[in-house]
Structure 1
Amino acid sequence: MFEKILVATDGSEHGYRAARVALELGKISGGKVTAIYVADTVKTSHLPDDMLLFSIRELLLKEGKEALKQVESLAQEKGVAFESLVVEGNPGSEIIRSAEASGMDIIILGAVGRTGLDKFLLGSVAEKVVRNSKIPVLTVPREQT
């Protein structure tokens, strides 16, 4: 049933936890896991300085590649088929668009991202994906300590 799994990561511990869940599901189902990192260039598009914008964009893309390398290492360790994807834009919209375009069976993401506050049940990206996706979504709660 879950042969094509999309997991969104933002480089946070919550994103990495979602990736571990996705890889476990991929191992059980024999499916392929695609990890996506969305560089949120929407927040920086209003900046007036092109050089500053370029620097921030490059930093976001580098951060994304590093986050995906961690997930790829874990996938290799677990013996799960894996690919990664870095895209730019609005994270919620791009996660949904990529999942639909690739025919994913499920989207997995952390319930709270790196900027999440305890007073919110879901992070804004997770909430947007849950509300707007036609594909089943699994949100992974933060680890209780």
Structure 2
Amino acid sequence: MTQAKDDISSGFSGAKLALFLGRDLLVIQRDDKPDIPYPGYWDLPGGGREGTESPEACALRETQEEVGLVLQPDVLVWSRAYQRPRGQVWFFAAHMPAALAGQVRLGNEGQRWGLMAPEAYCEHPLAVPHFAERLREYLMVRPG
């Protein structure tokens, strides 16, 4: 990691992962609780930073906690930091084989998980709007 990235990532508040299993995106339907942002919406794995973890470690830890998948940092193929009201948030993308869907196990958060075409997520009325926007940005630059 470069010094510039170390400086940028030191003050972040959380991270999200657009995780592709084959051609589809892994999504999690948020709990339907009025005290959380976007209750019942389709979300991506990720969440708030714990301690001094890096953005990559945050995204990967949250993915393991939320859907039971243990991924290594080298699967992260794209990243970008964005400013949100609660601070800087990192957005990552990773592509894994479709067969990995057989290992997904919903954790303690969310109502259910599913697979969705990335374009369908971007247009879905219950997609978290700023994550759909980040995903659109990634789809415009991803290789292949």
- Which category of TM-score, normalised to the shorter sequence, fits these structures? under 0.3
TM-score normalised to structure 1 length? 0.27
Higher strand share: 2
More helix as a share of residues: 1
